[in-house]
Homo-oligomer: A and B are copies of this chain.
Amino acid sequence: MASQAMFAEIAALSGDPARASMLHALLDGRALTATELAKAAGVTAQTASGHLGRLTAAGLLSVEKQGRHRYHRLASASVARMLESIMAVAAELQPDRARLSVGPKDAALRRARTCYDHLAGRLGVGLADAMIAQGHVELTNDAGILTDPGIAFLRDIGVDVAPIMARRTSRSGRVLCRPCLDWSERRPHLAGALGAALCAHCFDQGWTRRLVGTRAVVVTPKGERAFRSSFGVALDDRGGEVRRG
């Protein structure tokens, strides 16, 4: 089968440590330069250039030329989903001891991060849990549904629901959404159009801010208040559970 060779090629490209680091860095959906990616992977610019060339030639990355910079990004959402699914397996196979002995950078990532176009980590799972508790969404590991009160809620807090509504089913008009297994929390959070819209809203409103050079995001004081008042979510700074009020 022809696609079998393609399969192996894609997996092999993702399987080199340096390239894996680059893909990992790109998993937050932003476009990064070759130099930034070289630093992320811990290799020289020449080596990174070679890797990026191969990833782009295969179609996993797309490049955008801007002046003397070349911005690389994941070619499509399906590539992001593939990376997520590999991470899910990695998390599942990861011995528990390795998950406990991690540095402060990991702690920040586990607290809140972006996952291509939506929020993940304790924040992402916490927001999902809050919306479930309030009857705004229903979620399983396999699928999810956004309820009418949930649509009203999102509209209330100012989320642009148009891209979400565009995906409702043709027959009943119900709004389905995609869950994404959180590799650090091992529970589903909101992905798909809903997760993307919610994430975009958080950045627009200044509730969250990206940390440079990492996929981690910080919750601003304004965000703390908003998440508490609108969602009833408070993130414990000392690594504990998410609390719902």
Contacts and interface: CB of A to CB of B under 8 A. Distances in A.
Interface of A: 1-17, 20-21, 24, 58-60, 76, 78-79, 81-82, 84-94, 98-99, 101-102, 105-106, 109, 132, 135, 138-140, 142-145, 147, 167, 169-172, 174, 176-179, 181, 183, 191-193
Given A3-B90, A85-B85, A178 B143 contact: yes
17 contacts: A1-B102, A3-B90, A3-B99, A8-B20, A11-B11, A11-B14, A13-B15, A59-B93, A60-B89, A81-B88, A138-B171, A138-B172, A142-B167, A142-B176, A142-B177, A143-B144, A144-B176
B94 A86 contact: no
B7 A24 contact: yes
B1 A20 contact: no
A196 to B, nearest CB: 11
A38 to B, nearest CB: 16
A139 B143 CA distance: 10
B15 A15 contact: yes
Given A1-B105, A10-B93, A11-B20, 10 more contacts: A3-B99, A3-B183, A6-B93, A8-B14, A11-B14, A59-B92, A79-B89, A140-B167, A143-B143, A144-B176
A176 B138 contact: yes
Nearest to A1: B106
Nearest to A83: B7
A142 B78 CA distance: 11
